[in-house]
Structure 1
Amino acid sequence: MTYDTSVVPGAADFAEAPARAAPKTSDIRIPALDGLRGLMTLFVIVSHYYGEVPSGIGVLCVGWTAVLVFFVLSGYLVGRLIVEKMHAGNFLRVFYLRRVCRTFPTYFTATLAILGLGWLLGDRWPDGAAPLPLWSYLVFLQNYFLIHVQSVGAHWLSPTWTLALEEQFYLVAPFLLMLTPRRAWLALMIGLSLVGLALRGHGVLHGDLAIAPVALLPTSADVLLAGMILAVLVKNDAIDWAKYQLHVRLTPILCMVLTFVLQKWDGSVVGPRFEIFGPFLMSIGAGAFILMLVKGAPEAPRFEGRVLRFFGNISYSVYLTHLAVLGLMHGLILGGLPDIGTPAQVAVTTAAFPVTVLLAWVMTKILEEPITEWGRRHRWA
């Protein structure tokens, strides 16, 4: 979820450009992608606040879908940037500098603050302990320890494994394309996706990936590379939108139906068929939906509203802090873990939402945006 938004330097003047213009370069912002990110951010909050708690509402457990969409969207945006800028003489230096400016300040501020509060408050903030090595959070390796110890670690920092995974992806993604002949890009990425699918299948069937089957970079290759494959296809105008528009628009629905069938077949969202093939199907559906927004399909304007784009803009800070705010408020006010089983718990959970939004907005304005903008001053040459 730590992608560089759907804009790169020079795009400020295009912030309000309509998605129907079907932008073709990374210098033009696509508002609908911001809106999609905002909607997925709301999905995560609803899932963690009202779904994934002891008395939660099962149908609201949509956070996993949001995470997979984030991965595909991240792959698309980063892939598009790499494809268009990789020939710049200073590409690697500027690419990694901008990534650091975009992700590190907010991540380390939130992570260190949460770890510090957990230490200071102790039992007054239940489930704040960190059975994973603290240093793993500082070097973006907590996802590997998550699999090793079969624990999400400090619960209020549990979403950070996805950010660690994306940082690892950013580290290797440029070289994947730069060291491969252009004509072999698609074959390589499709091949690696199938390898990732096979590795995830092996891990699930042998019980090695019980916590999160896509927590490791190799086992999530098909999901992350789905976005990069889409970026290459769009850049090369390889998809005849006029001819295949209906097919593309039906693909997300078909993938949702097939995923639902897998879930029912397994009888659970943690069944082996779902855990192996579910992310694969969902990544294809997410890629098709992103293509719809990029090409300006009739659905695109629905994602261009100010509310969704607002949440898309503060999504990174929301993602980092929403669980901590929820846990802190329940711990200090009610002396327990988050739940919605009583009116008091529902009230505290509901109150945590505006607190999270306010905190995330402040962090975005005083920390994330200024440093990100400084990073964008370093131009491609």
Structure 2
Amino acid sequence: MAPAINKHCDTLDLIRALAAAAVCVSHIRALLFVDYRAGLHLGLIGQAFYFLSNYGHTAVTVFFVLSGYFVGGTVIRQVAAGTWSWQRYLGERLSRLWIVLIPALILTLFWDRMGLATIGGPFYLGTEGNFDQRVNVAAQLGHATLFCNVAFLQTLYCGTYGSNGPLWSLANEFWYYLWFPACYVLVGRRRMLQGLVVLGLALGSMVLFQPLLNGFVLWLLGALIAWIEKRIPRRAWRSRYPVSTWVSGVLFLVALAATRWQKEWADEWTVGFACFAFIACVLREDVRLRSPRLSRLAIAFSGFSYSLYLTHFPFVLFLIATMIGHRIQPDGYGALVFIALLAACYVYAYAVYFLFERNTRRVQRLIQQFHPFGTKPEAETAGRVGS
């Protein structure tokens, strides 16, 4: 008999950790360095840096596919096992999102108020010229915007809170979390009237929030992987030589490169479908990281990727605006500053993770004591978000 397969795949942790790093690197580069343009004297290394550090938005597409696999997979498994409960599901998802979001919003207020009080200027007025910070931060720090972001309505009825532009994707995630089970649970449940009411509400919100639908299709690609995996268990897919993983991995890299070179046809859809194929092949052939050290690093950095995503921007904006005050050239000095800022972001994000995110399961267990949902939260990384 073949040995049981550990469902946790550290290769997916590596993908998520790299996607989070891509977002952070992209934002630091845009805030710190002058824009890439003709006449900017760069060597081969400098050109490669500008090329590779421009994948922040693309990385969110990867997060959507991963989120669809993990969170959509949770729904699929619970419906199949007959343990599905809206109460349990919403308790897990909301606690997972809010345990970092609420501290992130408070920290955004702190850093933005500190920056406005000490330096202000173009970085906080949105007039400095960089692509990633183009709003008047002071105008986005009101109570209405705060509660709008807590309710996951940013980009729909309000802007993102303060300078924290990366919060835009959290609205997508939250509504995808609702839309998918509203549609899927109806298929596997007998209480048709209740299911139809929930489905009607979901479809109504889809009409209201049409800008989110493109990302939802990408999210569904991840859920499709989980659905296929449920029908064909991973043990039956095992392959000694991961040929399809290598081929799909190369195609995924080609798709990523094409978004820089062939923008007329290569977009988030190209990356999304290539990512879908790559992740499906990784799981199909059960590809794991061979180096134990790399595996530990991937799991560790993936573990606080959500905290990194939600907290880094106001923090690094404050540091650059107050300590440097303007964008600089990508020379040797700039490289040292960039590395220092990146390291500071990771230390800061880990501190937020240590105080808040790592307690997610504990909070969910406390919620269950007041609302017995019947089963414990799933032990795998199903709740991890990709924005």
Q: Please say whether Structure 1 and Structure 2 have the same fold, judged by a TM-score greater than 0.5.
A: yes
Are the counterparts in 2 of residues 143 and 216 from structure 1 also a CA contact under 8 Å? no
The one of 148, 173, 186 equivalent to 1:179 is 186
**Does residue 363 of structure 1 match 2:352?**
yes
**Structure 1 residue 350 displacement after superposition:** 2.5
Match of 1:241 among 206, 231, 237: 237
* Alpha-carbon distance in 2 for matches of 1:294, 1:67: 21
| Unaligned stretches of 5+ residues in structure 2 | 37-49, 125-135, 190-205, 376-387
TM-score by length of 2: 0.70
Kept in 1, the 8 Å contact 2:75–2:84? The answer is no
Q: CA separation of 1:64/1:236 partners in 2, compared to 1, >3 Å: closer, same or farther?
A: same
**1:137-179 C-alpha deviation (Å, 9 max, x unpaired):** 2221113257xxxx8774x311111122101111222112101
Matched residue, 2:25? 46
Q: For residues 371 and 309 of structure 1, do their structure 2 counterparts lie closer, same or farther at Cα, with a shift above 3 Å needed?
A: closer
SS of residue in 1 equivalent to 2:155 = helix
Following the alignment from structure 1 to structure 2, what is the Cα–Cα distance between the partners of residues 170 and 117?
A: 30
Match of residue 112 from structure 2: 118
Call closer, same or farther: CA 1:250–1:241 in 2, change over 3 Å: farther
Alignment partner, residue 58 of structure 1: 51
Q: Which has the higher contact order (CA 8 A, sep 6+)?
A: 2
Specify whether residues 248 and 241 from structure 1 end up closer, same or farther in structure 2 by C-alpha distance, changes over 3 A only. Answer: farther
- Is the contact between residue 245 and residue 281 of structure 2 (CA under 8 Å) also seen in structure 1? yes
Q: Report if aligned partners of 2:26, 2:54 keep a CA contact under 8 Å in 1.
A: yes
2:153 counterpart residue number:
141
Counterpart among 86, 102, 107 of residue 96 in structure 2: 102
Match of 1:352 in 2: 341
Match of 2:281 in 1: 292
What TM-score results when the alignment is normalised by the length of structure 1?
A: 0.71
Aligned positions, number: 314
Structure 1 gaps of 5+ residues are: 1-19, 183-198, 200-213
1:121, distance to aligned residue in structure 2 (A): 3.4
Q: Displaced runs of 4+ in structure 1, greater than 6 A? A: none
Tell me the CA shift for residue 181 of structure 1.
5.2
Q: Deviations 1:259-300 (Å, cap 9, x if unpaired)?
A: 64565344xxxx5x33xxx22221222122222333454564
Determine the C-alpha separation between the residues in 2 that align with 1:351 and 1:264: 30
Pairwise CA RMSD of aligned residues? 3.4
Question: Structure 1 residue 315: deviation in Å?
Answer: 0.7
Point out the structure with max Rg over C-alpha.
Answer: 2
Choose 100-109 or 241-250, whichever is displaced more: 241-250
- Structure 1 distance, partners of 2:24, 2:188, is 42
The 2-side partners of 1:166 and 1:130 are apart by 26
Q: Tell me, what secondary structure is at the counterpart of 1:179?
A: helix
**Contact 1:143–1:165 under 8 Å retained in 2:** no
Aligned pairs for 1:1-381 (under 5 A) are 22-23=5-6, 28-50=7-29, 53-55=33-35, 57-86=50-79, 88-89=82-83, 91-122=85-116, 124-125=119-120, 126-127=123-124, 129=137, 134=145, 135-145=147-157, 154=162, 156-180=163-187, 216-237=211-232, 241=237, 246-247=243-244, 249-257=246-254, 260-261=257-258, 263-266=260-263, 271=264, 273-274=265-266, 278-298=267-287, 300-301=289-290, 305-336=295-326, 339-341=328-330, 345-376=334-365, 378=368, 380-381=374-375
User: Is the deviation greater in 31-40 or in 246-255?
Assistant: 246-255
Distance verdict in 2 for CA 1:260–1:345, change over 3 Å: closer
Query: CA 1:262/1:74 → structure 2, altered by over 3 Å: closer, same or farther?
Result: closer
